[in-house]
């Protein structure tokens, strides 16, 4: 167990839960990494769409970013209210299920689950992508790097929430500090130069305009920029991870995350326009990220540039952590309602929902392996799930406040209503703008996932219906079982089996499979070895049943005999005693035929409710 | 089961054994393929060594072949006597064990086992090699072809001896007929031309003499030619496969095999000299096999050439079959003495020793895969094992006749004595001549294999000693077990478990693991649900034991409780009842946690002689 302890820390007692809870300082890295890191790719995604507009496109980034920040603000106020209303965790799934019914809940759940799996895979691979463009020599190890980071995230998260927060604090705050300093310096440059700042390293000139400004292009840029808003859901879903006062801690965390994100988005948009920085075509030789160009333009390529770029790379790679923080919590709530196996709702040795972490790791590893660590093409799939979940959550909150007698219910209802409409429109915009780029995959996957969860729920439902019992114990017709004991030859193991059988029942059938046609020693010796001693001491004599096996099978004759006995005694339990050698060294098992295992498996497969098997172990001495 | 029936035929009853027995017509292909096919590579192996002697070397092949045939004759007479003395199968292992003791027997067994595994791998790969030199396009599929033939041999042999004989008859007799016709035609040409036959297709001229005739070279050529004698052992080991009169059938088979082989060896040597055909360097561009050159010289490259070459290729590929026929029989005898697991001595569904066939297939497949289907380098390893086994067998027979009161015992002893000396000298010759070429590997492997078999025997010995029982059943202090029943919640499954427990014992501990700190429903309801109804109907009330699990483990608390109970009740049996859901579809198992399996495994691992587990199945309705 010491390896487990070393990797994951010693197990935590259930009552240590309180100490594991976190405040905003750790909540921001844990639940905010995904949202904050989007500052590094959201504006870039929008600007890439605007490349064909040339210099005119750069100007459009400011209104687009303002629209996104307005939407962000609407979503922020809505989720603030949700956290207040659901102090036990108010993710979209919970809110939608409680207010709009199970179907809406499952829709939100499926959308979010797909979103989180994508976040994990794409987050890691985009971080590794950024690293590789900084250190091209690592190209050949793309997949290995991705899987390495995935493993790191898995282990850190399995170590518990508090430790994960500790690990991710430094890079997160470094990232925030660097970008805020960049914006401050940039804005100072712009203001002090009267709006015409001099770029320390000039950005490449924009290509000539090759398309005309159209609403469609602006809408597409907006839809791309909206990827910056995924991950906002996380805090409200993870309220239970925060320490007392729970609601306040969670709200404070959300406020800081959103405020920082809004500042970054607006600041970047402002500076990009002031410095005339446009996106470069990804995948081409001259490609540089927007933040790299902006840093170079505002501060030059000195140590600040290098530190900032490093922090961006690290935060991108770790942004997958939001998925690790939230996916298991989402699975837990779904499992509590029976739509996922019960194990998802159990907390592991470090008080985290380990099953969810395992599943997320496995699915992300599969995605990363299939795509060889390059998952750019999955990015368009992103925003649909997140905004669908937002919309369902906000709509659910509108219903929630309608039924509520909270003094401000009306006011709250309006806020959530505005959120629902705004995010609902965004879903449609993103879906239309990105449908052919890959959003259709989400449209296909969501119903499949819902069908899967419904099937699971039906299965558990039917198991529960079959096994539910409300009546008290009935002792009618309890009667000792018929005991069947396969005996190969007379040895200590068969003696042990017989003694055990005699302790349980008066009706014992010792079955002996005869393979060759030689005269059988055991049958001749039975009366002397067993019957007489049993009778003498007042026990009923066990009967020896010899089974012929013309085809030299040893297991099937016993199974057939037991099934026959069971059908001839429809009111009796049949208990089959299976002696089993327990070896000291695992490789010794290769020397023995695994008849005990075979017999037990076949009895389970072909048997019925009334046939039970007993394993009698015989431990070999060392 | 229909797939099995299709591949291997329906199972055979033990009493169908007699019909499965074979006569010489099928015995020759089954046990003789290895020996007969060596006519295709034995003379070639000797001639290859003689290449440096140029034309002078060709002349030496006649005395070398005569020596080999004399040795063959000695071995033949010896084995004829062995068959008579051991009508139940007189392989080297049996003869050496019975007359010289277990150590000599194991030495023979190890030598033969290694020899057969090599025969299987090398036989197949040499056949495929011959095929590829005829159809070079198949080069890329070498390994696939090898494994395909291996699979074919495995399936045919698993179908039973009689069927295998049938399959291999045609190619074997075609091969014999072709080579005998070739020799007849060649000898006619030589005689009718007065000893100076005209070659239809002239063989390439021999290179100039580059080494002088030395004893060492002749000895090496003789040692190489001796590979022609492997496989002679097979018949005497497989006597039991022959039909009545067993001894006569086996002797007849051996006689025909040896007579044909001797004719082929002498005929080829005679013609090679008459036509001045020398070996060409294998692996070089101008390489052609001796038989191909001889066929072309004596009969031209017409249809007879093509048929003969085809039959040679097929027989080479199938020569591995001797290993399949004999290796399992060898393993069976060894297993009967406890030096291999018992399963090797059981006959499978088609009355063959299936385990031995599996093991041979797996080991050959591994060898072929490691060497990529090209196993030329293993050929030098061959003859050592075979001749070592011959020597031990002959020496054993000398001892056998010494103790025998057979009227001709003295005479027989001399024959076997000559055989022992001759083969013993050959072992030394081959070992010295081929030591650096690879024979040293056999010298290393044989002791390793012996050590392995001795370790197996020791293990079985100690198991037998631990479990042997000669006394009759003792009923002293038989007493109903303490029953432990893990209960998660109140449902039909736990009711079933309780009723079963009540039928077996008066002392029942229902253990209930409490994970969270919520008030527990089951503990409150226990008196009403269980205790009162049990008492009312006169049963002792089962006790509910609540186990705290601060670390949320569910299995270990139960295991710890059982171990504790066991140590507190050192004279009692503890029976743990484990209810288990039986699903209809295998993938449903993924939805449930495998606690039942985990609990049973952990109990077996940590438990002791007195702790038994009962599986109570609950079959879910479809």
Q: Is A609 in Cβ contact with B533 (below 8 Å)?
A: no
Contacts of B475 in chain A (CB under 8 A): 499, 502, 533-534, 537, 539
Measured distance CA(A163)–CA(A20) in Å, rounded? 9
Give the pLDDT band (50/70/90) at residue A337.
Answer: very high
Hey, what are B374's tokens?
A: 């090209």
Any residues with CB less than 8 A from the CB of B170 and at least 6 apart, and which? none
Tens-place pLDDT, residues A513-546: 988 767 678 989 999 999 999 999 999 999 999 9
Phi-psi category of residue A212: left, alpha or beta, with phi > 0 → left and psi -120 to 50 → alpha: beta
Question: Closest by alpha carbon to B579, among A392, A613, A68?
Answer: A613
Contacts of A552 in chain B (CB under 8 A): 14, 346-349
Hey, what are B380's tokens?
A: 């030098």
The answer to whether residue B530 neighbours chain A at the CB level (below 8 Å) is yes
User: Residue A482: how many CB atoms within 10 A of its CB?
Assistant: 22
Question: Closest by alpha carbon to A341, among A453, A464, A462?
Answer: A453
Which residue is listed with tokens 């709006």? A195
The answer to whether residue A611 neighbours chain B at the CB level (below 8 Å) is yes
Please give the radius of gyration of chain B, using alpha carbons only, rounded to the nearest integer: 33
Q: What does the pLDDT average to over A28-32?
A: 90
SS3 label, residue A440: helix
Contacts of A534 in chain B (CB under 8 A): 473, 475
pLDDT at position A140: 86
Which of B478, B607, B617 shows the shortest C-beta gap to A609? Answer: B617
Measured distance CA(B111)–CA(B382) in Å, rounded? 10
Least confident of B442-456, B510-524, B606-620: B510-524
Q: What does the pLDDT average to over A213-234?
A: 83
Measured distance CA(A404)–CA(A423) in Å, rounded? 23
Q: Is B586 exposed, middle or buried (0-12, 13-18, 19+ CB in 10 A)?
A: exposed
Q: In A377-507, which ranges are E strands?
A: 482-486
What CATH fold (topology level) applies to the domain A2-463?
A: Amino acid/polyamine transporter I (1.20.1740)
Q: In B179-237, which ranges are E strands?
A: none
CA-based nearest distance B614→chain A, Å: 4
Check whether B1 has a pLDDT greater than 60: no
End-to-end CA distance of chain B: 24
Q: How far is C-alpha B68 from the geometric centre of its chain's CA atoms?
A: 28
Contacts of A475 in chain B (CB under 8 A): 499, 502, 533-534, 537, 539
DSSP tag of A353: -
Do the domains B482-619 and B2-460 match in fold? Answer: no
Q: What is the dihedral of CA B417, B420, B423, B429, to 10 degrees?
A: -100
Q: What does the pLDDT average to over A412-423?
A: 89
The answer to whether residue B592 neighbours chain A at the CB level (below 8 Å) is yes
Which of B470, B588, B612 shows the shortest C-beta gap to A614? Answer: B612
Which of B539, B591, B619 shows the shortest C-beta gap to A459? Answer: B591
End-to-end CA distance of chain A: 24
Q: What does the pLDDT average to over A376-398?
A: 83
Interface of B with A in 332-371 (CB under 8 A): 341-343, 346-349
Check whether A377 has a pLDDT greater than 80: no
Contacts of A491 in chain B (CB under 8 A): 467-469
ipTM of the complex: 0.85
The answer to whether residue B50 neighbours chain A at the CB level (below 8 Å) is no
Tens-place pLDDT, residues B53-77: 888 888 889 999 999 999 999 889 8
Give the pLDDT band (50/70/90) at residue A320.
Answer: confident
Give the pLDDT band (50/70/90) at residue A266.
Answer: very high
DSSP codes, B108-166 = HHHHHHHHHHHHHHHHHHHHHHHHHHHSGGGGGGHHHHHHHHHHHHHHHHHT-HHHHHH
Give yes or no for a contact between B396 and B96, defined as CB atoms under 8 angstroms apart.
yes
Q: What does the pLDDT average to over B526-532?
A: 93
- 3-state secondary structure string, A160-172? CHHHHHHHHHHHH
Contacts of A347 in chain B (CB under 8 A): 552
Helix segments in A52-101, DSSP class H: 55-85, 92-100
CA-based nearest distance A593→chain B, Å: 7
Give yes or no for a contact between B160 and B9, defined as CB atoms under 8 angstroms apart.
yes
Best mutation target, B17, B240, B473, B621, to test chain A (most A CBs within 10 A) = B473
Check whether A175 has a pLDDT greater than 80: yes
The answer to whether residue A571 neighbours chain B at the CB level (below 8 Å) is no
pLDDT at position B19: 81
Any residues with CB less than 8 A from the CB of A615 and at least 6 apart, and which? A578, A580, A596, A600, B600, B604, B612, B613, B614, B615
Share of chain B above pLDDT 90, in %: 46
pLDDT at position A273: 92
User: What is the pLDDT of chain A when averaged over all its residues?
Assistant: 88
Could you tell me the residue ranges of all domains in chain A? Answer: 2-463, 482-619
Which residue is listed with tokens 């045609």? B170
SS3 label, residue B560: helix
Contacts of B534 in chain A (CB under 8 A): 473, 475
Measured distance CA(A180)–CA(A188) in Å, rounded? 12
Any residues with CB less than 8 A from the CB of B186 and at least 6 apart, and which? B197, B267, B270, B271, B274, B275, B294, B298
Q: Is B616 in Cβ contact with A475 (below 8 Å)?
A: no
Give yes or no for a contact between A617 and B609, defined as CB atoms under 8 angstroms apart.
yes
What CATH fold (topology level) applies to the domain B2-460?
A: Amino acid/polyamine transporter I (1.20.1740)
The answer to whether residue A467 neighbours chain B at the CB level (below 8 Å) is yes
Measured distance CA(A553)–CA(A598) in Å, rounded? 12
Q: Is A346 in Cβ contact with B14 (below 8 Å)?
A: no
What CATH fold (topology level) applies to the domain B482-619?
A: Rossmann fold (3.40.50)
Question: Closest by alpha carbon to B591, among A458, A411, A229, A62?
Answer: A458
SS3 label, residue A8: helix
pLDDT at position A449: 94
The phi and psi torsions of B9 (rounded to 5 degrees) equal 85, 160
Give the pLDDT band (50/70/90) at residue B380.
Answer: low
Phi-psi category of residue B547: left, alpha or beta, with phi > 0 → left and psi -120 to 50 → alpha: beta
Q: What is the dihedral of CA A108, A111, A112, A115, to 10 degrees?
A: -170
Task: Collect contacts of B77-80 with beta carbons under 8 A, ≥24 apart.
Answer: B77/B415, B77/B419, B78/B390, B78/B393, B78/B394, B78/B397, B78/B415, B78/B416, B78/B418, B78/B419, B78/B420, B79/B232, B79/B233, B79/B235, B79/B236, B79/B254, B79/B393, B80/B251, B80/B254, B80/B255
Measured between alpha carbons, how far is residue B183 from residues A413, B65, B66, B134, B189 in Å? 106, 15, 16, 22, 10
Hey, what are A67's tokens?
A: 């629209």
């Amino acid at each position: 167990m010491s390896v487990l302890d070393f990797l994951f820390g010693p197990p935590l007692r259930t009552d240590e839960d309180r100490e594991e809870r976190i405040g905003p300082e750790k909540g921001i890295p844990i639940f905010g990494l995904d949202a904050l890191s989007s500052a590094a790719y959201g504006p870039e995604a929008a600007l890439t769409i605007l490349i064909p507009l040339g210099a005119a496109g750069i100007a459009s980034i400011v209104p687009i970013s303002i629209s996104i920040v307005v939407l962000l603000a609407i979503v922020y106020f809505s989720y603030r209210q949700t956290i207040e209303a659901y102090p036990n965790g108010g993710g979209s799934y919970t809110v939608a299920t409680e207010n709009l019914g199970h179907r809406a809940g499952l829709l939100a759940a499926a959308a979010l689950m797909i979103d989180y799996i994508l976040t994990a895979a794409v987050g890691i691979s985009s971080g590794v992508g950024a690293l590789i463009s900084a250190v091209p020599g690592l190209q050949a190890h793309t997949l290995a790097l991705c899987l390495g980071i995935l493993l790191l995230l898995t282990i850190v998260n399995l170590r518990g929430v508090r430790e994960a927060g500790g690990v991710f604090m430094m890079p997160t705050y470094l990232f925030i500090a660097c970008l805020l300093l960049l914006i401050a310096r940039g804005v100072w440059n712009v203001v002090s130069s009267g709006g015409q700042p001099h770029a320390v390293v000039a950005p490449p000139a924009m290509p000539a305009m090759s398309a005309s400004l159209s609403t469609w292009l602006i809408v597409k840029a907006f839809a791309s920029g909206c990827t910056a808003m995924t991950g906002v859901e996380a805090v409200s879903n993870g309220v239970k991870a925060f320490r007392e006062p729970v609601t306040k801690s969670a709200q404070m965390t959300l406020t800081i995350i959103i405020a920082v994100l809004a500042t970054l988005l607006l600041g970047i948009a402002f500076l990009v326009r002031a410095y005339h920085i446009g996106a470069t075509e990804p995948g081409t030789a001259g490609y540089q990220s927007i933040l790299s160009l902006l840093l170079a333009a505002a501060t030059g390529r000195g140590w600040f540039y290098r530190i900032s770029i490093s922090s961006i790379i690290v935060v991108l790679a770790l942004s997958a952590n939001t998925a690790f923080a939230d996916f298991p919590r989402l699975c837990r709530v779904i499992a509590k309602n029976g739509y996922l196996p019960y194990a998802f709702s159990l907390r592991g040795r470090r008080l985290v929902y380990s099953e969810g972490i395992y599943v997320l790791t496995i699915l992300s590893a599969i995605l990363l392996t299939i795509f060889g660590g390059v998952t750019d093409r999955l990015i368009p799939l992103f925003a649909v799930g997140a905004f669908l979940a937002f919309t369902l959550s906000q709509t659910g909150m509108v219903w929630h406040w309608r039924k509520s007698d909270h003094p401000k219910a009306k006011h709250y209802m309006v806020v959530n209503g505005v959120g629902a409409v705004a995010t609902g429109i965004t879903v449609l915009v993103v879906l239309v703008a990105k449908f052919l780029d890959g959003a259709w995959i989400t449209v296909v996957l969501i119903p499949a996932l819902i069908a899967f969860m419904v099937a699971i729920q039906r299965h558990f439902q039917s198991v529960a219906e079959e096994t539910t019992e409300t009546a008290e114990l009935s002792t009618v017709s309890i009667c000792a079982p018929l005991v069947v004991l396969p005996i190969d030859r007379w040895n200590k193991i068969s003696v042990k089996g017989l003694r055990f059988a005699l302790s349980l029942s008066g009706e014992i059938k010792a079955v002996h499979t005869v393979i060759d046609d030689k005269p059988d020693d055991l049958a001749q010796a039975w009366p002397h070895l067993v019957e007489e001693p049993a009778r003498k001491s007042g026990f009923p004599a066990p009967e020896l049943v010899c089974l012929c096996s013309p085809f030299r099978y040893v297991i099937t004759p016993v199974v057939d005999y037991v099934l026959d006995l069971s059908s001839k005694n429809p009111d009796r339990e049949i208990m089959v005693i299976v002696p089993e050698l327990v070896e000291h060294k695992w490789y010794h098992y290769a020397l023995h035929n695994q008849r005990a295992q075979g017999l037990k498996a076949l009895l389970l497969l072909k048997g019925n409710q009334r046939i039970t098997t007993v394993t009698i172990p015989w431990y070999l001495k060392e």
